[in-house]
Amino acid sequence: MNSFSDFYKQTKYKVAGNGPRNIQVLKEALVKWDGQEDGDHYGKGKIIDEFQEKMAKYLGKEAAVFFPSGTMTQQIALRIWCDELRIKKVAYHPLSHLEIHEEDGLKELHHIETILLADKDRVIQLEDVVGLEEEIACLLLELPQREIGGQLPAYETLEAISAYCKEKGIKLHLDGARLFEILPFYEKSAVEICALFDSVYVSLYKGIGGIAGAILAGNTEFTEKSKVWKRRHGGDLISLYPYILSADYYFDKRVDKMNQYYLCAKELAEYYNQCHAVSTLPLKPVSNMFHVYFDAPKEVVEATLTEIYLETGIGLTSYLRVGNNVTTNYEVSIGDLYGQIPKEALRKAFQLLDEKMKDKLKII
Amino acid sequence: MNSFSDFYKQTKYKVAGNGPRNIQVLKEALVKWDGQEDGDHYGKGKIIDEFQEKMAKYLGKEAAVFFPSGTMTQQIALRIWCDELRIKKVAYHPLSHLEIHEEDGLKELHHIETILLADKDRVIQLEDVVGLEEEIACLLLELPQREIGGQLPAYETLEAISAYCKEKGIKLHLDGARLFEILPFYEKSAVEICALFDSVYVSLYKGIGGIAGAILAGNTEFTEKSKVWKRRHGGDLISLYPYILSADYYFDKRVDKMNQYYLCAKELAEYYNQCHAVSTLPLKPVSNMFHVYFDAPKEVVEATLTEIYLETGIGLTSYLRVGNNVTTNYEVSIGDLYGQIPKEALRKAFQLLDEKMKDKLKII
């Protein structure tokens, strides 16, 4: 029997992503290389040097270091700031990646205490930071806040938080896993956003669509320390070039498409919000991502979407999560695929979704 | 002006290694893949599952986990055993990779105390272990002991240490960065060697010649814990397949060549030992590797070898290290390239080396 994700896989069009994360992603990135170029060697060599310089320039920081993962970069960034300020405490959002997806690495490996700022269903505001009663070494801001659909504070809030942290001697770190994706909303360059932060992490396999890998950027003193920690963590591989070459290739291919993804996300969210018992969080996306909420149990949503996939050939999601009460939800991140769907077919799919949801919820 | 390593690069034949670590290494491993296969996803999927199962079987352990680096695997193995025995202390050789090449990750991240066993210029013997006065959770044995030219204890010593550790409740961990390479000397299978150890790390880019990556193997309870720590360390990448595919490809290509490499290493060491003021450590290699020592200052060795490279087209080493007093040394690891050198040319190169060393040392 086919599972829900099988039905999704068999659809002709998919609204989210850049396509399957298959081996072709790597093969495509390697086509232009004839093979005779030396790989990087323990963090040194042309390939890694050039990409790090390119990223440092793009982010407007003195230096940048390539890491195998964001998990590694962020723990290290916080550790460096804690050691520098001799305060083993940091603050971040209750749904930060470090708090919920890293098996407590920050605590288990670095013994850093964390303060959870703000309610989990909203972004951190200036008042949360000003209201901090304990001394912290570093504040981490995740832009956008992924686990609540990718929400953002106002740019003025960022500026105010940055100024406040500077005044108080608190280091400000950017979890910019999706930094490229928010630039169109803020109408700012990466340099302008990053200037508000002491250290910056960006991911190279989300909007950019590389295979894996991350960049940590800051001043040279900071990045040099991060290289020592990279070795301690076991991240200073003899060669990282498979990730670097693909990060570089897909950066060039997609970094200028972020506005397109953003506009598409807003359009798609509108389609969803016109459907009965369906809404998006945020209502108006501020990046290429948002969450979709159905006021209906999982079985109903699964049956409905499966019908849509079979009748229209358009796949909306490969999975469903059960939320509070009877809601069902999933995440959508727009990439290259959205633009390939015939507009009329998409419109019809959502008309169908609206009708089906009305029907199904009448029956219950 | 050309540097010594430039002269080496320009030689037609090179005695060590499998060839340049260039992008072709990755491209070659990908040829057989048409690209449509899904990559691994956070430690799951066909590609990683199958390779892990293959390695578990090869090593004779219940389970195996693919890691981006050996540094990560070994710290994690020691941490798991320390936590299990509630003793934050381990023992290993004074020149263990963990002691000298990892920026003290074991201490900085895991707060594990280390006891250095044996003098640094010999391998660990049973008496060293029996003589331990403090309680330890785990003993790490590196086979072969790389920093002293790749030396090995007798197999009976391994058996005796293993039995002693079992009796005393000490966990025994194998740093098998070069495990494949020592099997011909011991005339044992990997399963037989690994059966003496509770946990085993092997590297996939040394004799095997992959791009990066390591395997940690043991019983399932142990490997499941290692996956949690892998995530904490930032090693649970969304995709590791570039390393897995190349590890698998080069494993199949080279694992049965280890005896050939071993025989070649012994032959090459004999050539060296016939030269004036030159000797190898160990005198008779017990794997594909050894160190070469010149009783001469670096400038003399550099000048001599450069002449050999230019006159014979045979490259012996790309670098030189200054040892104690006036000795100069370097490491040699045999791979695929050795077999491509015409025997007569190689013999002549060493005849020349012998003559030149006699001449040069007369002049001094």
Residue B328 has pLDDT above 60, yes or no: yes
Is A4-20+257-363 a domain of CATH 3.90.1150.10?
Answer: yes
3-state DSSP helix/strand/coil % of chain B, to nearest 5: 50, 20, 35
Give φ, ψ of B69 to 5 degrees.
Answer: -150, 155
The string over B169-178, giving b where at least 16 C-beta atoms fall within 10 Å of a residue's C-beta and e elsewhere, is: ebbbbbbbbb
Query: What's the average model confidence in pLDDT over B306-319?
Result: 98
> How far apart, in Å, are the Cα atoms of A292 and each of A211, A282, A358, B114?
26, 9, 17, 52
Which pLDDT score, from 0 to 100, does residue B323 have?
83
User: Which pairing describes strands B278-281 and B89-92: parallel, antiparallel, or unpaired?
Assistant: unpaired
Task: Please answer yes or no on whether B234 and A105 come within 8 Å at the CB atom.
Answer: yes
Q: Each residue of A147-185: pLDDT tens digit?
A: 999 999 999 999 999 999 999 999 999 999 999 999 999
Please tell me which residue of chain A has the smallest CA distance to B233. A233
Under 8 Å CB pairs connecting chains A and B tally to 167
Closest CA to A20 of B31, B244, B36, B49: B36
- The model's pTM is 0.97
Give Cβ neighbours of residue A354 (< 8 Å, ≥ 6 apart).
A274, A275, A276, A278
CB of A23 within 8 A of CB of B246? Answer: no
Q: Each residue of A273-325: pLDDT tens digit?
A: 999 999 999 999 999 999 999 999 999 999 999 999 999 999 999 999 998 77
State the smallest CA–CA distance between residue A339 and chain B in angstroms: 22
Which pLDDT score, from 0 to 100, does residue A117 have?
96
Residue B124 has pLDDT above 60, yes or no: yes
What is the DSSP code (8-state) at residue B351? Answer: H
Task: Please answer yes or no on whether B35 and A41 come within 8 Å at the CB atom.
Answer: no
Task: Please answer yes or no on whether B69 and A38 come within 8 Å at the CB atom.
Answer: no
Give the nearest partner residue to A109 out of B232, B236, B237, using CB atoms.
B232
Distance, CA of B182 to CA of B146 (rounded, Å): 12
Give the nearest partner residue to B234 out of A27, A36, A72, using CB atoms.
A72
Q: Report the residue of A23, A211, A215 to disrupt the B interface, i.e. the one with the largest count of B CBs within 10 Å.
A: A23
3-class DSSP assignment, residue A227 = helix
CB of B48 within 8 A of CB of B241? Answer: yes
- Give B32's contacts in chain A (Cβ within 8 Å): none
Closest CA to B340 of B302, B310, B308, B313: B313
Please tell me which residue of chain B has the smallest CA distance to A71. B234
CB of A288 within 8 A of CB of A181? Answer: yes
Which pLDDT score, from 0 to 100, does residue B362 have?
86
CATH-assigned architecture of domain A40-238:
3-Layer(aba) Sandwich (3.40)
- Give B21's contacts in chain A (Cβ within 8 Å): 38-39, 41, 238-239
State the smallest CA–CA distance between residue B80 and chain A in angstroms: 12
Distance, CA of A118 to CA of B289 (rounded, Å): 58
- Give A20's contacts in chain B (Cβ within 8 Å): 36, 38
Distance, CA of A168 to CA of A138 (rounded, Å): 11
Q: Each residue of B83-107: pLDDT tens digit?
A: 999 999 999 999 999 999 999 999 9
User: Which pairing describes strands A13-14 and B13-14: parallel, antiparallel, or unpaired?
Assistant: unpaired
Region B4-19+257-363: CATH code: 3.90.1150.10
Task: Please answer yes or no on whether A21 and B41 come within 8 Å at the CB atom.
Answer: yes
Please tell me which residue of chain A has the smallest CA distance to B46. A22
Q: Each residue of A85-111: pLDDT tens digit?
A: 999 999 999 999 999 999 999 999 999
Distance, CA of B342 to CA of B264 (rounded, Å): 13
Give the nearest partner residue to B37 out of A23, A68, A73, using CB atoms.
A23
Percent of chain A with pLDDT over 70: 99
Give the nearest partner residue to B24 out of A35, A72, A231, using CB atoms.
A35
Which pLDDT score, from 0 to 100, does residue B2 have?
80
Question: Look-up: residue for tokens 């707060």?
Answer: B111
CB of B275 within 8 A of CB of B327? Answer: no
3-class DSSP assignment, residue A36 = coil
Q: Each residue of B228-270: pLDDT tens digit?
A: 999 999 999 999 999 999 999 999 999 999 999 999 999 999 9
Q: How is residue B38 written in tokens? A: 């899904």
Q: Each residue of B38-89: pLDDT tens digit?
A: 999 999 999 999 999 999 999 999 999 999 999 999 999 999 999 999 999 9
Query: What's the average model confidence in pLDDT over A71-96?
Result: 98
Which pLDDT score, from 0 to 100, does residue A328 have?
97
Give the nearest partner residue to B233 out of A105, A241, A245, using CB atoms.
A105
Task: Please answer yes or no on whether A237 and B36 come within 8 Å at the CB atom.
Answer: no
Q: How is residue B269 written in tokens? A: 């060491």
Which pLDDT score, from 0 to 100, does residue A363 have?
62
Which pLDDT score, from 0 to 100, does residue B172 have?
98
Q: Each residue of A317-330: pLDDT tens digit?
A: 999 999 877 899 99
Percent of chain B with pLDDT over 70: 99
Q: Each residue of B178-202: pLDDT tens digit?
A: 999 999 999 999 999 999 999 999 9
Q: Name the band, by pLDDT with cuts 50, 70 and 90, for residue A213.
A: very high
Give the nearest partner residue to B108 out of A69, A232, A241, using CB atoms.
A232
Which pLDDT score, from 0 to 100, does residue A326 have?
80
Task: Please answer yes or no on whether A26 and B21 come within 8 Å at the CB atom.
Answer: no
Which pLDDT score, from 0 to 100, does residue B112 have?
98
Distance, CA of B183 to CA of B192 (rounded, Å): 10
Q: Report the residue of B233, B236, B318 to disrupt the A interface, i.e. the one with the largest count of A CBs within 10 Å.
A: B233
Please tell me which residue of chain B has the smallest CA distance to A47. B23
Q: Name the band, by pLDDT with cuts 50, 70 and 90, for residue A362.
A: confident
What is the DSSP code (8-state) at residue A93? Answer: -
Query: What's the average model confidence in pLDDT over B332-340?
Result: 98
Task: Please answer yes or no on whether A22 and B39 come within 8 Å at the CB atom.
Answer: yes
Which pLDDT score, from 0 to 100, does residue A323 have?
83
Q: Each residue of B15-32: pLDDT tens digit?
A: 999 999 999 999 999 999
Residues pairing with A294 in the sheet:
A278, A328
Give φ, ψ of A260 to 5 degrees.
Answer: -60, -45
Q: How is residue A203 written in tokens? A: 């991911």
3-class DSSP assignment, residue A267 = helix
Which pLDDT score, from 0 to 100, does residue B326 have?
80
- Give A25's contacts in chain B (Cβ within 8 Å): 39
Distance, CA of A214 to CA of B319 (rounded, Å): 32
The long-range contacts involving B86-90, CB below 8 angstroms and separated by at least 24 positions, are B86/B137, B87/B135, B87/B136, B87/B137, B88/B112, B88/B113, B88/B137, B89/B113, B89/B114, B89/B115, B89/B134, B89/B135, B89/B136, B89/B137, B90/B114, B90/B115, B90/B136, B90/B137, B90/B138, B90/B139, B90/B140
Residue B348 has pLDDT above 80, yes or no: yes
Residue A1 has pLDDT above 70, yes or no: no
Give the nearest partner residue to A232 out of B35, B109, B238, using CB atoms.
B109
Please tell me which residue of chain B has the smallest CA distance to A104. B232
* Average model confidence (pLDDT) across chain B: 97
* Average model confidence (pLDDT) across chain A: 97
Q: Report the residue of B239, B240, B249 to disrupt the A interface, i.e. the one with the largest count of A CBs within 10 Å.
A: B239
Q: Name the band, by pLDDT with cuts 50, 70 and 90, for residue A74.
A: very high
Give the nearest partner residue to A237 out of B36, B103, B212, using CB atoms.
B212
- The domain ranges of chain B are 4-19+257-363, 40-238
Give φ, ψ of B89 to 5 degrees.
Answer: -145, 135
Which pLDDT score, from 0 to 100, does residue B1 have?
67
Which pLDDT score, from 0 to 100, does residue A203 have?
98
State the smallest CA–CA distance between residue B87 and chain A in angstroms: 16
Closest CA to B91 of B53, B135, B126: B135
- Give A242's contacts in chain B (Cβ within 8 Å): 26, 211, 242-243
Distance, CA of B173 to CA of A94 (rounded, Å): 38
State the smallest CA–CA distance between residue B320 and chain A in angstroms: 18
Give φ, ψ of A46 to 5 degrees.
Answer: -55, -50
Distance, CA of B321 to CA of A82 (rounded, Å): 38
Residue A6 has pLDDT above 70, yes or no: yes
Percent of chain B with pLDDT over 90: 97
More confident residue, B300 or A364: B300
Distance, CA of A140 to CA of B274 (rounded, Å): 63
- Give B233's contacts in chain A (Cβ within 8 Å): 71-72, 105, 109, 233-235
Residue A4 has pLDDT above 70, yes or no: yes
